[in-house]
Amino acid sequence: MDNNKDCSMYTEHVESGKRKVTLSLTVNGQFVVRDIDPNMTLLHFLRDNLKLFGTKEACGEGECGACTIIMNGKAVTSCIILAVEAEGAEITTVEGLAMDGKLSILQEEFISQDALQCGFCTPGFLMSTRALLDHNPNPSDEEIIEVLSGNLCRCTGYHPIMQAVKRAADREQKELGR
Amino acid sequence: MISRFAYFKPHNLNEAVQYLEKEEKSYVLAGGTDLMILLRRNLINAEHILDIKGLPETAEFNFVEGAGLTIGASVVVNQVVDSEVVKAKYPALNQAAASLASYQLRNRATVVGNICNASPGADLPPALLVYDAVVNIAGPQGMRQVPLHEFFTGVKRTVLQRGELVVSVHLPEPGEGDKSIYIRQARLRGHDLATVGVASRIKPDGKVAIGICAVAPTPKRLFALEDQINARELSQETIEWAAKEIREHIRPITDVRSSAQYRLQMASVLLKRGLLTLIGKEA
């Protein structure tokens, strides 16, 4: 497994009646250390502690994909992962996609294709797609469908999302030489 | 917010077993795709969570020529889906793994967790059962091995005793010419629990093995039906006969996903489709 840092060596200490653990990880390229409750989910850690509100909570049970982030290169649903499990992990959230105030190609194509309406599912779709294109710059339709099957959108429909992903893959190959 | 618990991630199997033995309300965490739901819905009262992902034994994912495949308790389902060895040697397992939940969940959910959760409708057990999988269990008295068909004792129940923990599951190597297939019926094409799932295998000597889920309190290997089939010549007629006979070997219930009647019918269809595909006849 990927996060094999020694968690048994955590310095557990009592703080206002709670057993806290120290968590250190890298989020969007920044090294972060926080004392947290062991029962906190990774999703709530990102939102409540780091104030990264791009990652959404909808079903809270790993079914809808709204909370998808990239953890050690893999798309995962952060609502059903404990924050402590991310010890030593490299995490990318939707906030990590834009660079220097400029949207990424992937984000631009979601806009150009109208691949969102309410936008609540969008960060999850973006992160699932990002993980896919990082491993497979030129995916087939079937591969895109398979990887996005864990992300639910209730307003746009999936056709514009497919178009956005395919256009982003094309552009990334041309413009970034992937 | 989920209930408070202490979190422990040992790096040594003995430590893990001692902890599970000592702490009564302790639960094993691997992928967490089942456990986190139970915690969130307050269906269990966990005071201790033991994360096994730090145990080196659980990371093993290894095929040894002549010995077979070992899948450690931390190996996630997508590792199995992506494995070329599994595709070549254990196709039914590859197909079952690829059909489980959604892509993101397969990045976390573990093969062994799918066994230990002991859901009657779990996708991986039918495929593991037809390969004569053996479960490696660590406990206070040391290691013990339990055949997977003896591992499940009821809905969400297994033979695991207090202090015990599944380290890995082992599948013997199939011989040259071994064929297998897993077919599941679900309500929709996207991710859904199986209404019925059937794994069929024809061994090099022509003997048939059948594993099935969601038609009994536990996933089952249909030994009695296999014996009846294996006493005959494996022809299209035998397969059609077996597809009718399978109804006598399962006891499905009616629930939110399907009626018992539909499950009986689908078990019949899926077995026929699977075996006909394996003998090269159109289903």
ipTM of the complex as predicted: 0.93
What Cα–Cα distance (Å) separates residue B125 from each residue in B197, B221, B254? Answer: 10, 9, 21
Chain A interface, mutation test: which of B35, B79, B103, most A Cβ atoms within 10 Å? Answer: B103
Residues of chain A with CATH 3.10.20.30: 13-96
Reported pTM: 0.93
| Residue ranges of chain B that CATH labels 3.30.390.50 | 179-278
Superfamily of domain A105-173: [2Fe-2S]-binding domain (1.10.150.120)
Q: Tell me, what's the pLDDT at A77?
A: 98
* Residue B261 pLDDT greater than 50, yes or no: yes
CATH class held by domain B56-171? alpha beta
Averaged pLDDT, B41-55 = 95
* Contacts with A3 from chain B: Cβ below 8 Å: 53
Residues of chain B with CATH 3.30.43.10: 6-54
Mind listing the pLDDT tens digit of every residue in chain A (178 residues)? Answer: 344 444 443 444 333 334 789 999 999 999 999 999 999 999 999 999 999 999 999 999 999 999 999 999 999 999 999 999 999 999 999 999 999 999 999 999 999 999 999 999 999 999 999 999 999 999 999 999 999 999 999 987 899 999 999 999 999 999 998 7
Task: Read off the DSSP letter of residue A117.
Answer: S
Confidence of residue B1 (pLDDT cuts 50, 70, 90): low
Per-residue model confidence as pLDDT tens digits over B169-219: 999 999 999 999 999 999 887 678 899 999 999 999 999 999 999 999 999
Confidence at residue A8, expressed as pLDDT on a 0 to 100 scale = 40
CATH 1.10.150.120 in chain A, residue ranges:
105-173
Residue of chain B whose Cα is closest to the Cα of A19: B6
Contact B191 A39 (CB under 8 A): no
Ranges of CATH 3.30.465.10 domains, chain B: 56-171
Closest chain B residue by Cα to residue A70:
B104
User: Would you state the pLDDT for residue B95?
Assistant: 97
Is B117's pLDDT higher than 70?
yes
* Residue whose C-alpha is closest to residue B13's, from B70, B80, B73: B73
Residues 109-128 of chain A with CB under 8 A from chain B are 128
**Which one of 3.40.50.150, 3.40.190.10, 2.60.15.10, 3.30.43.10 gives the CATH number of domain B6-54?**
3.30.43.10
The shortest CB-CB distance from A149 to any of B15, B32, B190 is to: B190
Sequence-separated contacts (24+) of A42-51 with Cβ below 8 Å: A42/A69, A42/A71, A42/A78, A42/A79, A42/A81, A42/A82, A42/A83, A42/A85, A42/A86, A42/A91, A43/A67, A43/A78, A43/A79, A43/A81, A44/A83, A45/A83, A45/A86, A46/A78, A46/A91, A46/A93
Average predicted confidence (pLDDT) for chain B = 95
DSSP assignment of chain B: -PPP-EEE--SSHHHHHHHHHH-TTEEEESS-TTHHHHHHTT-S--SEEEEGGG-GGGG-EEEETTTEEEEETT-BHHHHHH-HHHHHH-HHHHHHHHHSS-HHHHTT-BHHHHHHTT-TT-SHHHHHHHTT-EEEEEETTEEEEEEGGGTEEETTEESPPTT-EEEEEEEPPP-TT-EEEEEEE-SSSSS---SEEEEEEE-TTS-EEEEEESSSSS-EE-HHHHHHHHTS--SHHHHHHHHHHGGGG------SS--HHHHHHHHHHHHHHHHHHHTT---
Best A3, A8, A81 member to test B by mutation, with max B CBs in 10 Å, is A8
Q: What is the pLDDT of residue B27?
A: 96
Q: What average pLDDT does the segment B13-42 reach?
A: 95
The answer to whether the CB atoms of B104 and A38 lie below 8 A apart is no
Q: Which CATH code is given to the segment(s) A13-96?
A: 3.10.20.30
Instruction: Give B108's contacts in chain A (Cβ within 8 Å).
Output: 62, 76-77, 80-81
Contact A1 B53 (CB under 8 A): yes
Question: Which member of A7, A39, A76 has the closest CB to residue B4?
Answer: A39
The rounded percent of chain B whose pLDDT value lies above 90 is 93
pLDDT recorded at residue B142: 96
Angle between helices A159-176 and A122-135 (to 10 degrees): 40
Cα-trace Rg, chain B: 19
Contact B4 A19 (CB under 8 A): yes
Q: What is B179-278's CATH number, 3.20.20.370, 3.30.70.20, 2.50.20.10, 3.30.390.50? A: 3.30.390.50
In this prediction, residue A6 carries a pLDDT of: 43
By three-state DSSP, how is residue A73 classified? coil
